[in-house]
Amino acid sequence: MMKKLILKETDLDLSNVCLGTANFGEKLTKEQAYEILDTYVAVGGNFIDSANVYCKWIEELGNCSEQYLGSWLRDRKAYNKIVIATKGGHYDFKAPEISRVREETIRADLEESLQTLGVDHIDFYWLHRDDESVDITEIVDIMESLVKEGKIRYYGASNYKQYRIEQAVSYAEEKGLQGFTAVSNQWSMARVNPGGNMNQDPSLVLMDSDYYQWHKRSKMPIIPFSSSAHGFFDKLDRKLKMAEDMKRAYMNQDNLEMYQTLCKLRKETGVSLYALSIAWLTNQPFQTLPVAAVSRPEQLDDFVVASSLKLEKDVIEKYSL
């Protein structure tokens, strides 16, 4: 069964590997999504990541990820078994230059998510994007008002730069507010080549060495996305044809050395490269709950292994940023 932990500064008891659902609707049918959700719960998982914008990049699908989740929650009567973390405030794909980090648009996304999921509040709500032209104190105040109204319980920042998080933390401490409880930026064991990210969206924020050291000092939890580097190590190991955008993103000497280390650990432990790379995140010196998606239920076996696997401290430190 999967290991659980109490997320820092909350009462949320979460499985330490979060199930991502961005592929629900676009790549997986409703029946396939149900099978994955059922299996995830059966192996002890209870933390599921979604977003109001997931699948809206395909016009006819709408917020399909949340739709499948809402349907599954109702059919399985699973409301008290699961913590849903969903997101709002993402830009409109038809007008990416227009910020939606505004109270009215955040509230609109939240209300749509509540209705779709069939719940009266969200346990953990992410702001999906930032707008650096808006004072961070205004953003925190918006989120605090949603907490006071009972619409959300805890909230976090996805794709927020370090200086913005530091400002938000200082403001919350000064005013005695709850503040951001966690950060969700892109991070995996595999290092991304500068300027070569597979997703070229300039509003994405990746973990870097300064941010990593800040997390070590502050102990602010991180719930990173793209935590498996899109299966880079597995594709390298199986000698599968690698897409050019993956080569551009991840093919470098550091990652090739990491691959050799993972192969050695696999030989010693019998654990898959995928599970080892996820466990590298769960073994960090601050709470790290990686978000990972699967396309088949049997892949969740690696979640269970990674959840409890202990890695030597030197392996963590050697490949840290």
Decide if 314 contacts 10 (C-beta within 8 A): no
The sign one gets for the Cα dihedral 21, 85, 198, 282 is negative
pLDDT value, residue 59? 84
pLDDT value, residue 60? 84
CB half-sphere exposure, 4, CA atoms < 13 A: 14
């500068």: which residue's tokens? 194
- Within 8 A by CB and 6+ apart from 191, the residues are 250, 252, 254, 255, 321
| SS3 state of residue 160 | coil
Q: Could you read off the pLDDT of 154-192 as tens digits, one per residue?
A: 999 999 999 999 999 999 999 999 999 999 999 999 999
Nearest-10 crossing angle of helices 162-175, 136-148: 50
Residues of the chain with pLDDT under 70: none
Q: Could you read off the pLDDT of 237-271 as tens digits, one per residue?
A: 999 899 999 999 999 999 999 999 999 999 999 99
- Within 8 A by CB and 6+ apart from 280, the residues are 189, 311, 315, 316, 319
pLDDT value, residue 128? 98
């080549």: which residue's tokens? 193
The model's pTM: 0.97
pLDDT value, residue 292? 98
């709500």: which residue's tokens? 125
Q: Per the structure block, which two tokens stand in for 241?
A: 């044809």
- Going along the chain, which residue ranges are E strands? 4-6, 13-15, 18-20, 47-49, 83-88, 122-127, 152-158, 183-184, 291-292
Q: Per the structure block, which two tokens stand in for 183?
A: 């950060």
pLDDT value, residue 68? 98
Mean pLDDT across the chain = 97
